[in-house]
Amino acid sequence: MDWIQKLRDSHKDFEKGNIATVFGENPFDEFIKWFDEANVKNELEPNACSLSTVSPGSLKVSSRIVYLKELRDSEFVFYTNYGSQKGTDLKENPLAALLFFWPGLERQIRIEGIVQKIPALESDAYFESRPRQSQLSAWASNQSEKLNQREDLISRLEALNSQFPEKVPRPPHWGGYALKPNTIEFWQGRPSRLHDRCCYEFIDGKWINYRKNP
């Protein structure tokens, strides 16, 4: 097929930036700098990232896009249904990875660490800030379970709208997770595939950094 050949013949070079020196001691300061630049440069949904989890039984790896909602206490916070596939994976195997990709800047950040639920009060506060329809959807969707027909989902949503005419409480099966990293890698595309890779690892209570081969 023509499009397959085009993929094979594609040899994009990267030339928009570099990591001239190894970063400072705190990788979160560097993350904020890159994240702020992604916002300034109008990257599309810069807080979108790929979350990868592993099923404890089959060791099956699954990835999906989630949205970073907060960076606090050296943790990356996102929200979801606890009963979803990712929630089920994390319950038994809390090891996970996040990947931010900003093609306009030719950058990506890889993050690996351990995930745990955030306190219920924090989840309550964020849930209250969501639009009403999003609140109702959190109740209506049995996330990751089979759906016979979309009409069933719409019917549940309409029933919930009547059930909660005013304030919508947070569902007990929905809330936030925080990933506490032990590895963070900053990747900057460079010409001739000689990319810059600056890696941080948390070892013996402190962050160390070093470069990796591209």
Give a yes or no: residue 136 inside a domain.
Answer: no
CATH (domain of 184): 2.30.110.10
Q: What is the pLDDT of residues 30-50, one digit of tens each?
A: 999 999 999 999 999 999 999
For residues 146-174, average pLDDT: 95
List strand residue ranges (DSSP E) for 57-120, in order: 61-67, 70-72, 75-81, 95-102, 107-117
| Domain contains 27 | yes
Distance of CA 147 to the CA centre of its chain: 25
In this predicted structure, the answer to whether residue 149 has a pLDDT above a threshold of 90 is yes
Contacts of 192 (CB under 8 A, 6+ apart): 13
Rounded average pLDDT over 48-66: 95
Average pLDDT, the chain: 92
Q: Is the pLDDT of residue 3 over 90?
A: no
Answer whether residue 5 shows pLDDT above 90.
Answer: no
Tokens 């592993």 sit at which residue? 54
Known catalytic residue at 8: no
| Mean pLDDT (whole number) for 57-73 | 94
pLDDT digits (tens, 9 = 90+) for 86-127: 999 999 999 999 999 999 999 999 999 999 999 999 999 999
What is the percent of the chain where pLDDT is above 70?
Answer: 90
Asked whether 186 and 17 are in contact (CB, 8 A), the reply is no
Q: Mean pLDDT over residues 68-86, rounded?
A: 95
Query: Residue 91 domain-assigned?
Result: yes
The predicted structure's pLDDT at residue 176: 98
For residue 109, tell me if it sits in a domain.
yes
pLDDT level of residue 75 (50, 70, 90 thresholds)? very high
Residue in 64, 72, 132, 193 annotated catalytic:
193
Q: Per-residue confidence at 131, pLDDT binned at 50, 70, 90?
A: very high
Give the count of alpha carbons within 13 A of 50, CB side only.
11
Residue 5 C-beta-side C-alpha neighbours within 13 Å: 2
Rounded Cα distance, 63 and 54, in Å? 9
Euclidean distance between CA atoms 43 and 166, whole angstroms: 36
How many whole angstroms separate alpha carbon 5 and alpha carbon 142?
41
pLDDT value at 9 more than 60: no
Residue 113 domain-assigned?
yes
Q: Does residue 72 surpass a pLDDT of 90? A: no
Query: Do the Cβ atoms of 186 and 107 come closer than 8 Å?
Result: yes
Model-level pTM greater than 0.85?
Answer: yes
Label residue 69 left, alpha or beta by phi (over 0 means left) and psi (-120 to 50 means alpha). alpha
Convert 78-106 to b/e letters by CB count within 10 Å (16 or more is b): bbbbbbbbbbbbbeebbbbbbbbbbeebb
Per-residue model confidence (pLDDT) at position 173? 96
Count structural domains, the chain: 1
Residue 5 lies in a domain: no
Could you count the other beta carbons within 10 Å of the beta carbon of residue 2? 6
Distance of CA 36 to the CA centre of its chain: 16
Is 7 among the domain residues?
Answer: no
pLDDT of residue 10: 59
Concatenated DSSP letters of 40-71: HTT-SSTTEEEEEEE-TTT--EEEEEEE--EE
Segments forming the whole domain that contains residue 121: 15-129+173-211
Give a yes or no: residue 90 inside a domain. yes
Percent of the chain residues topping a pLDDT of 90: 80
